[in-house]
Structure 1
């Protein structure tokens, strides 16, 4: 289905309705289906200021707290009103919060969904009220009322994770170029994937598997458990406890309780990585990579995992700078508030099952121990003390 233009949706911004690209002077009486919005469903004041509902999935992960706070701070600095809510990984809570945002007159919604398929009625209500919906980092699926998507290049995240694993195993360098004299295997590895209700998890897994495939095919790498399908390795809700339990089960069923060599584990998120590492350490594989702990990858540069990388326990993480993602989301809101089409750099990749959603994708960086100072501390993302203690101050 062809993407709808913001200019063709009758969005009211700055007291002016934009209909099919034509500016029509309006009054303040056109309330939308949500009620309570006396200036129109997506209307702002004469300064182009809008009320933005920001829905984040949880506060159990530090990255979502950072995302929510960054979006709120930047929008408020630009003069907009923000209603920020965290849903604590509970789908009914998120649906209720978004319903309330619409009722309370939100004119734009920025939503990072817990379950990308569970918000249909809220999206329908937003569409009926002319409220643009920006899908934040996680693509919302199976509904036409998703107007824009801001995220990182999620396929490349998976490529970067697999490349980090290959580098840690001595097969390639950090850029993915094959090393001469590399091990020919077989090296045992295991695979983990993210939550099956998160659209990003599939992109991460596909990027990683496409990168690992040549070495799985030639026998350099072996998934000893034979669990290589996404559904076999996915961890619901990105649960650290779920990842630890699955790794413990694999150690028992496949690795002789820790007596069979395991070279590495593909992990798509730092929370999962910490659960995996705990299981491996408890099984006697070593406390650090230097003394035999398998290479474990990660994502999100959570400070607890950055501390582990600094200590030689976790091998790597993928840094998705929440500051740049929040800033891009704010740019999209600002474009909408100005009655303009937001800039997209991808209009073909992200099909949500009903339409291809115009997207802006940001680059990612791999963090190894040697990168912590230059990429995380010197940039102001963390302080040296936070890295050393593994806690954000």
Structure 2
């Protein structure tokens, strides 16, 4: 008892001394305060897409609620900026890194520094390629995304009343984004039999990924290419459908179509697909301009990523449901896949409001 009393007096004296010197100590778990969980580095590609803003916000909110500090950075689609941001996260000894890359191969050096420092790395929705310095991957079933887009395109063409064969053009995402290949390959699994049977005609003849890819998912690039396709292949015929892998591209494509007279004077807009359920495109679906989009609930993706961070941090078994599909050129990256959902005018409001992704008022 005497030793405990003396020890207590000594601790109290030390606290008074530190306070008098203007220094304060962090509360410890033993003293009944909160334990410092550390800082999680989150590198996002850009704020030009509504989708990535939501991702960053959701991850930050959920990590902070779990007791972590968050170093959230956006790179504005500039690769050197993102490389510098990841390097800085390593230098500052952020505990775990979550990286949604601009270019899946451009961060190899920075990621190796993280690995050398013992910092785990989670690839977020975009696979980090050609490196063994990535530990886990959280994403949606990207092959299924492409299949859903193609199935929706065919559904819309059937409903349009246009006679077969249907004239269709193909767009793909950015060639430096691993997901873009999955989206396109998934779509072509569905569309190729229809092309081979003659039900679908690609009037431009442009069907390979490299030709139809859209660098940086740039809407202006998609708009320009659609304008060129209309001039090249549709002077005497109409385009009936466009496979678009992302809402931003869809809006650029639709702008080009409208500029060529589609959507007015009795000339119907083609069936145009999309992805990410961006608000402007959802409103376009409700207005009958864009046909569909693939909804990926980024709140769920953030939640799965935060769960993975907590499991890594507490040295528990990390939750994954795919260990074979996502090879980054060096290794099969253990992956947690989430399910995407295709939505069109018939169900878009119900699905998105029920998921609390948007309110009913936002969709008016």
Equivalent position of 2:4 in the other structure:
none
Equivalent position of 2:20 in the other structure:
none
Equivalent position of 1:381 in the other structure:
357
Distance in 1, Cα, partners of 2:176 & 2:40:
25
> Are residues 1:231 and 2:219 paired?
no
CA contact (8 A) 1:50 1:107 kept: yes
SS at match of 2:158: coil
- Report the RMSD for the aligned CA atoms in angstroms: 1.8
1:86-235 equivalence runs, <5 A: 86-170=74-158, 185-235=164-214
Distance in 1, Cα, partners of 2:41 & 2:302:
14
> Are residues 1:293 and 2:281 paired?
no
Say which of 220, 223, 233 aligns to 1:244.
Answer: 223
Distance in 2, Cα, partners of 1:171 & 1:271:
24
> Are residues 1:367 and 2:343 paired?
yes
CA contact (8 A) 1:58 1:87 kept: yes
SS at match of 2:316: coil
Equivalent position of 2:16 in the other structure:
none
Equivalent position of 1:267 in the other structure:
244
SS at match of 1:70: helix
Equivalent position of 1:27 in the other structure:
none
CA contact (8 A) 1:123 1:145 kept: yes
Equivalent position of 2:290 in the other structure:
314
SS at match of 2:167: strand
CA contact (8 A) 2:173 2:213 kept: yes
Corresponding residue pairs, total? 332
> Are residues 1:305 and 2:278 paired?
no
Q: What TM-score, normalized to structure 2?
A: 0.88
SS at match of 1:367: strand
Equivalent position of 2:314 in the other structure:
338
CA contact (8 A) 2:125 2:137 kept: yes
Distance in 2, Cα, partners of 1:46 & 1:280:
57
1:221-269 deviation line (CA, Å, top 9, x unaligned): 010000000000000000000000000000111111xx41111000000
Distance in 1, Cα, partners of 2:75 & 2:264:
35
How many angstroms does 1:47 deviate by? 4.4
Change (3 A) 1:308 1:113: same
CA contact (8 A) 1:142 1:352 kept: yes
Distance in 2, Cα, partners of 1:184 & 1:171:
10
SS at match of 2:346: helix
Distance in 2, Cα, partners of 1:312 & 1:264:
14
Q: What TM-score, normalized to structure 1?
A: 0.82
Distance in 1, Cα, partners of 2:54 & 2:224:
28
Distance in 2, Cα, partners of 1:321 & 1:253:
38
CA contact (8 A) 2:174 2:216 kept: yes
Distance in 2, Cα, partners of 1:202 & 1:373:
29
Moved over 4 A (4+): 45-48
Distance in 2, Cα, partners of 1:137 & 1:237:
15
SS at match of 1:151: strand
1:195-241 deviation line (CA, Å, top 9, x unaligned): 00000000000000010111101000010000000000000000000
Equivalent position of 1:18 in the other structure:
none
> Are residues 1:282 and 2:270 paired?
no
Distance in 2, Cα, partners of 1:48 & 1:291:
62
Distance in 2, Cα, partners of 1:373 & 1:187:
29
SS at match of 2:252: helix
Distance in 1, Cα, partners of 2:324 & 2:192:
25
Unaligned runs of 5+ in 2: 1-32
Give the structure with the larger helix fraction.
2
How many angstroms does 1:371 deviate by? 1.2
Distance in 1, Cα, partners of 2:242 & 2:348:
21
